[in-house]
């Protein structure tokens, strides 16, 4: 019985470092992988307008999304490198979770208004403007946060928020060389 336990423990002690080395080699290979083609257009400005009602008060947000190419990053999924885009609002307001516009900080409700990479023609189909969708933070059991989409009925009945209209710029057509 003792020999069997020692054998099993020995195998586990050998497997863990081996697994760590395999994962480290995979990350190193991704780091040294060639970068994808660079975008021809690296900067863009995209005006938008969102009108919503919160607890009976009508709010209009007009701003411009500024998107910039920011080099390359090793993807978290282990599939090599990918283009990285930075985004900001011309007004200086904060961006929440990949182009979200905060509408209720008490409940952490925000409206998704599109990602920089899609506006810049880098994936996601990008032929039409994004749809204005509402999300909220959900507490995670692991101590982090996850997102939950809110349909328009719940957005209004639970949080008193109703999206009246939204107008977003169309994404550009970009060339990658």
The answer to whether 92 touches 65, Cβ cutoff 8 Å, is: no
Q: Where are the domains of the chain?
A: 43-168
- Please enumerate in sequence order all residues whose Cβ is within 8 A of that of 67, keeping only pairs 6 or more positions apart, or say none: 43, 44, 45, 46, 85, 86, 87, 116, 119, 120
Tell whether the torsion through CA atoms of 51, 149, 138 and 89 is positive or negative. negative
Question: Could you list the pLDDT tens digit for every one of the 177 residues in the chain?
Answer: 666 655 665 555 556 655 545 444 445 555 567 889 999 999 999 999 999 999 999 999 999 999 999 999 987 666 788 999 999 999 998 877 667 788 887 888 888 888 899 999 997 655 577 788 898 877 655 555 678 899 999 999 999 999 999 999 999 999 999
- Contacting residues for 107 by C-beta, under 8 A, at least 6 apart: 136, 159
pTM of the model: 0.75
């Amino acid at each position: 019985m003792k020999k069997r336990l020692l054998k099993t423990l020995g195998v586990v002690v050998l497997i863990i470092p081996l697994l760590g080395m395999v994962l480290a080699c995979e990350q190193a290979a991704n780091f040294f992988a060639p970068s994808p083609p660079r975008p021809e257009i690296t900067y863009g400005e995209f005006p938008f307008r969102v009108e919503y009602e919160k607890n009976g008060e009508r709010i209009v947000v007009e701003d411009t999304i500024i998107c910039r190419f920011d080099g390359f990053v090793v993807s978290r999924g282990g599939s090599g490198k990918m283009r990285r885009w930075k985004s900001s609002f011309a007004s200086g307001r904060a961006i929440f979770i990949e182009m979200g516009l905060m509408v209720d900080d008490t409940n952490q409700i925000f409206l998704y208004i599109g990602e920089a990479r899609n506006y810049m023609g880098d994936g996601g189909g990008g032929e039409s403007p994004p749809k204005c969708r509402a999300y909220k933070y959900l507490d995670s059991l692991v101590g982090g946060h996850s997102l939950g989409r809110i349909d328009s009925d719940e957005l209004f009945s639970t949080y008193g928020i109703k999206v009246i209209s939204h107008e977003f710029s169309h994404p550009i057509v970009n060339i990658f060389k």
